[in-house]
Homo-oligomer: A and B are copies of this chain.
C-alpha cells in the first residue's frame, strides 16, 4: 500500500436489481488488486451510511463471500432513496476527508448519478481531491448515453418468462388479463414482454408504454377488438402510463426525496384497468389483473447471464478508469460494437450526461400505439439471453 493515493468507498442506491451486486463485487475485486488504492470500504445504505458513519470493511471479505454476494439479488450494502442537501453533501465530503476517501463509486440509476454529480461539484468547489464515479444500474433501462443498463437484461428476462407463462395460462383459461410492469418514465421493461411471443397468436396482444399517451376509451376498444378476434386478450401495461397532459392514470400520494411518486408495491392500477374493462365491455367477462411488483427486480435465481457478466465488468471498468489518469469523474456506459455476434465496449461519459433526465424508447422501437417493432426485439434479445421454448399441440382433428 506504499503507493496508495487514498482509500476507496462504494455505495449502492435506488431500487435493487438482480445483478447490482455483480457491479459491487467487480469494483471490490479490482480495487483490492489496484496498488494505487488503499483500503476498500462500503457505505451501508448509500449516502445515509456516509452521513451516519456506518462504513464496513469490504477488503476484509473472503473471496467466497464476495462470489456468493455477486450472485445474490438486491443491494448487499443495502440501498437508500435519498438526494443529499447541500449541507449533507458537505458532511459527506467531511467524511471522505476523515477516512481519506479518494475514490467514490456510487452504483445506481439516474438519481444516483445526480447525487454523484452534486458531490463532485462540491468537491471541486472545496478543492477536495476525490475521483467520483457513477456505476449504472436500473431495471428501467432509461439512462441516457448508454446502449443499455446493467439490471435491465435480467428484469426483462423475468418479464419475458412471466408473459410466456401467462400467455399459456390465458390460453388455458381464456379471458382478458392485464399485467402491470415496472417502468416509471419509459417503457423499456414493459416492451420486453414482447419477447414472450413464439406463436402467431401469442400474447401480449397489446402493450402500453409511457411513450404514448394512454386513453381509457381507446384502450377498451383495443381490448374488445383482440378479444372478439381471439377469444382472449393478454395485455402488458407500464405502471407509468399517463394521459396527454402527463397525469398518471393511477397513483398513490407517496413521493420520495427525488420527487418520484410511488407506483409499485400496489395492485391498484391493474385492478383499476380490469374494472374499466368490465365496465365498458361487460361485467360477465373474465377479467383479471396481476402486478408483477418487486419480483421483477429481486427474484432470486433468475438472471440473464449476459447481464450478470456485464454488470461485473461495468464495476471493474469504473475502477480502471478511476486510475487511468484521464478521468476525475464520470459514469460507465456500454456501447454495442456489434450486433451479430453481440459485442460491447465499456466507455466513460460525463456525470451530467446521465444525471436526472431519463431516456424514452426511441420511435423506431415502437409500433403504432400499442406494440413494439422488430427492431426492438433485435435490440433486446441479446441482453436477455436464450429463452425457454414453448411447445404446442398441433390440434389435429380426430378425422
Contact = CB atoms under 8 A, between A and B. Distances in A.
Interface of A: 12, 15-16, 18, 21, 39, 41-42, 44, 55-58, 60-61, 65-81, 99, 161-162, 164-166, 168-169, 171-174, 177, 196, 264-268, 270-271, 274, 287-295, 297-302, 387-399
A161 B69 CA distance: 16
A71 B391 contact: yes
B268 A81 contact: no
Nearest to A275: B266
19 contacts: A15-B173, A16-B169, A18-B165, A56-B393, A57-B397, A57-B398, A60-B396, A69-B392, A70-B391, A74-B172, A75-B173, A77-B393, A78-B173, A161-B300, A265-B288, A266-B271, A267-B291, A291-B293, A295-B295
Number of copies: 2
Given A288-B294, A301-B388, A394 B165 contact: no
Contact of A42 (B42, B298, B393): B393
A300 B164 contact: yes
B288 A74 contact: no
Nearest to A28: B393
A60 B393 CA distance: 10
B299 A161 contact: yes
Q: Which 9 A-B pairs have the closest CB atoms?
A: A267-B267, A68-B391, A265-B288, A290-B293, A74-B168, A165-B298, A301-B388, A69-B391, A164-B300
A61 B393 contact: yes
Contacts of A300: 161-162, 164-165, 168, 196, 388, 390
Contacts of A171: 74, 78
Given A58-B393, A172-B74, A267-B268, A294 B290 contact: yes
A168 B72 contact: yes
B264 A74 contact: no
A195 to B, nearest CB: 11
Given A172-B79, A271-B266, A395 B56 contact: yes
A168 B267 contact: no
A177 to B, nearest CB: 8
Given A173-B79, A173-B80, A387-B301, A392 B72 contact: yes
B74 A165 contact: yes
A171 B44 CA distance: 11
Nearest to A14: B173
A268 B174 CA distance: 22
A298 B57 CA distance: 43
Contacts of A67: 391
A56 to B, nearest CB: 5
- With most chain B CB atoms within 10 A of its CB, the pick from A99, A289, A300, A389 is A300
B291 A290 contact: yes
